[in-house]
Structure 1
């Protein structure tokens, strides 16, 4: 297969078609360009048939021509690729113009999905970068995108990850990789900040109208804020974001780089860089080695999300009109987040209805977990197994403070006195995953892939797409992390 094969593969052959989308907004919002072909032939590293089905692709969607198109070697017929421009705050500091520095949007399908290649070459927004992504970070993004979907958490999806022997220079020479990402929209808070910062109100309004009409149409007819559609839009984004934060916190997920340009306007988890699922429960855990100040520590994520929403509010202020209205549109975040978090934690506890003492029960167990840095995922899964009739000592054995956990378990049992055990056990096993993408599991899959063994990627994908199932024979993937896992450093480099 030629590295520069003809652009004759039709998206319609896969069962979907291109339709106008973000590209229709005009050149102020993006730059048209083609991906840059790699100098070494691509190969499949992993793919998600689940994502393909959700996108409406045919079951036999994979072939050599699609491999070339999803690596940027060729274009799918009818594609009009582009890179979008945005700005943003990074680590709390205004960074000015940013944009898709290594992501190229191929287009939008008639099934409602934007398809984007990450790592497909330089764009006008690459700044000093090369526009490429490396195998290790691409595998992590591919797996975590599908893992979050498996957990039921809103996220961008990953259709595939491909590799190439083309060299890419980071701290050392690595090999190139491309992730084919999909989402209803990749618009970020930073897209709005970009036009607001330049006082380009017409473009700001065009963008807001596009997003509202496509994804928040109810805001047009809302009676909130005196019928102010832009304030209603801000409130809706705020509430989606609050719910997302509750979901992250409940599974122990750390994003690592919650810059405003990494915040989805649809409340999706987006841009998987130095993320991590907690091993031992440490509320102050910092997963990003580059985050020396701890701005994006696990326990700071809900507050940072609100700070980012305040930046979005400032950007939308020219459309909303009054500062008091913009601030009021953010107010519900303060109730939606704690309510959503408590609801998620009650589900983990197997409690179908709320009771006055539930917050104390939740805070009590989180305090115990934090005191001894008990493994977060294993604790919750063992608690679910205990409720299903499993060995009760498997929970107690996680704690040195036996008196403390025994007292909490007594309160837990008392709270469950009126809840059928079978019902609560079923609920808990559906809310507490057995498998999450721990750093060491990802690292093992990466190291095998660097030797051209992609079985680890496939195995992890299988487990992570249905993380609540037992998956007999894969118990090692649900075990405690090895000692060396704590030495893994994940940074913004990719």
Structure 2
């Protein structure tokens, strides 16, 4: 044990009992070394930002008071129920409390657990860099997410399609409980455990639900709302999760488990970012429907505690109005429409249709839209294949803007339309350099993505047009 750092660890989840987890210990790695450390997050956790022992973030040593466990859960994977999953390469180390905020620490890539299903329990450097950077990107964008405190590399060999090296990410979140955490006890018929988990989640994260006439209905309704808001944020920013299995859905409405994710380059609503998703179940345009589908899985798991199907259906029915309203509001802000009008939904749909027809870059289009009035969209028009279609849309948009005060609109639009996103080719460049021992591009991307809405002249190259042929295929392999 090492007593050199201040955090005090407790283990609220352990109080649920042995049915909910397995005791584990991280497997040491060879020659751990820093790839990056999230100093802003460390400050939020009350940690020093310097002189940190890399062994404490690699699993080679533990902080005083840490008692690792691997959480049990199940889930629907690509629509099919898998009866037992669990943390196969992640270990929950404990929780800390700072300024009234409790956070769970989870080390990903720490080795085998009883839920590893024959795998080595490791994560490789490339996937760990992607997760580390994307959790930082989502934080900068203001989208609910788990966060990454540290990224550690090693010389320990890991074999996937080829020989790679193991890496570890220290993930931080108020909770890592998933929809699948409830499903496993429902399908096993373990109602006592199901109730204990629901009571735990309510007490720790949804205390107002305890005061409701039907606390478990209130819990479901709260998760429905958070999930609707989360998916609306994904759609508005052009983020594809890639593997929206029910075990990858957070009970707190956080973006969880970064695997084959991707931000849209060219706007294509049917875009699939996971090359293992042969049928397009988790395509960009399907994400809202999958959010609803997964909520139905959660609701089914909670039925033994509610036993009131009409009430459950009513709670689930709130998803679509909440999602639609939140997405509508976000898209209006992106278009600079701050004075609502009855036909704004039609303009949003016309905009997306025009973008898809002209194969426009999603993020770049909306960022440039803030300058529309100064040049009548000339910078966007130059990227269009069908100028007639663009001109027809631009005429409608110009008329709509006449109803908007223009004194602050550009500033407000730039505050919601990012200039910098984590494009796959940028992450791939950082990965390739890191695999050669140069972590500077990881640091550069991390710093830039902290403020994605700000003009950052020193990072202008990160906003350059992706070169043709730079598409990166991403799979679940990590």
Contact persistence 1:87–1:193 (CA under 8 A): yes
Please give the residue correspondences for 1:14-33 in structure 2 after superposition, counting only pairs within 5 Å: 14=6, 16-33=7-24
Please give the residue correspondences for 1:65-104 in structure 2 after superposition, counting only pairs within 5 Å: 65=53, 67-104=54-91
Instruction: Describe the SS at the equivalent of 2:184.
Output: helix
Contact persistence 1:379–1:395 (CA under 8 A): yes
Instruction: Describe the SS at the equivalent of 1:45.
Output: strand
Deviations 1:287-346 (A, max 9, x none): 001101110000000000100000000000000112222111111101000100000001
Please give the residue correspondences for 1:96-245 in structure 2 after superposition, counting only pairs within 5 Å: 96-111=83-98, 112-222=102-212, 227-245=213-231
Q: Post-superposition shift, 1:465?
A: 1.1
Aligned length, in residue pairs:
475
**TM-score calculated relative to the size of structure 1:** 0.94
Contact persistence 1:235–1:329 (CA under 8 A): yes
Contact persistence 1:379–1:398 (CA under 8 A): no
Deviations 1:130-187 (A, max 9, x none): 0000000000000000100100000000001110011000000000000000000000
CA distance in 2, matches of 1:449, 1:51: 22
Contact persistence 1:396–1:405 (CA under 8 A): yes
Q: Post-superposition shift, 1:391?
A: 7.7
Report the counterpart of residue 358 of structure 1 in structure 2: 344
Contact persistence 2:22–2:69 (CA under 8 A): yes
Contact persistence 1:187–1:264 (CA under 8 A): yes
User: Stretches of 4+ moved more than 3 A in 1?
Assistant: 389-392
Contact persistence 2:179–2:247 (CA under 8 A): yes
The question of 1:420 aligning with 2:366 is answered no
Instruction: Describe the SS at the equivalent of 1:422.
Output: coil
Q: Post-superposition shift, 1:353?
A: 3.1
Instruction: Describe the SS at the equivalent of 2:393.
Output: helix
CA distance in 1, matches of 2:47, 2:400: 47
Instruction: Describe the SS at the equivalent of 1:419.
Output: coil
Please give the residue correspondences for 1:11-50 in structure 2 after superposition, counting only pairs within 5 Å: 13-14=5-6, 16-38=7-29, 40-50=30-40
Contact persistence 2:143–2:233 (CA under 8 A): yes
Instruction: Describe the SS at the equivalent of 1:143.
Output: helix
Report the counterpart of residue 44 of structure 2 in structure 1: 54
Contact persistence 1:9–1:75 (CA under 8 A): no
CA distance in 1, matches of 2:327, 2:470: 28
Q: Post-superposition shift, 1:243?
A: 0.6
Deviations 1:41-97 (A, max 9, x none): 10111121122122232343x42x2x1011100110111111100000000001110
Contact persistence 1:385–1:429 (CA under 8 A): no
Report the counterpart of residue 265 of structure 2 in structure 1: 279
Structure 1 pair 147–390 and aligned structure 2 pair: CA distance change class (3 A): farther
CA distance in 2, matches of 1:75, 1:102: 17
**TM-score calculated relative to the size of structure 2:** 0.97
Report the counterpart of residue 476 of structure 1 in structure 2: 461
Q: Which runs of 5+ in 1 are unaligned?
A: 1-6
Deviations 1:8-49 (A, max 9, x none): 235xx34x32123212211111111211101x1101111211
Contact persistence 2:377–2:394 (CA under 8 A): no
Deviations 1:243-295 (A, max 9, x none): 11100000110000000000000000000000000110000000001101110
Report the counterpart of residue 447 of structure 1 in structure 2: 432
Q: Which runs of 5+ in 2 are unaligned?
A: none
Structure 1 pair 77–186 and aligned structure 2 pair: CA distance change class (3 A): same
Structure 1 pair 127–202 and aligned structure 2 pair: CA distance change class (3 A): same
Structure 1 pair 78–474 and aligned structure 2 pair: CA distance change class (3 A): same
The 10-residue stretch of structure 1 (473-482 or 286-295) with the greater mean CA deviation from structure 2: 473-482
CA distance in 1, matches of 2:43, 2:349: 40
CA distance in 2, matches of 1:266, 1:286: 25
Report the counterpart of residue 492 of structure 1 in structure 2: 476
Q: Post-superposition shift, 1:390?
A: 6.2
Q: Which residue of 261, 274, 294 maps to 1:308?
A: 294
The question of 1:332 aligning with 2:318 is answered yes
CA distance in 2, matches of 1:435, 1:346: 20
Q: Which residue of 356, 361, 371 maps to 1:370?
A: 356
CA distance in 1, matches of 2:12, 2:138: 26
Q: Post-superposition shift, 1:473?
A: 3.0
Report the counterpart of residue 3 of structure 1 in structure 2: none
Contact persistence 1:374–1:399 (CA under 8 A): yes
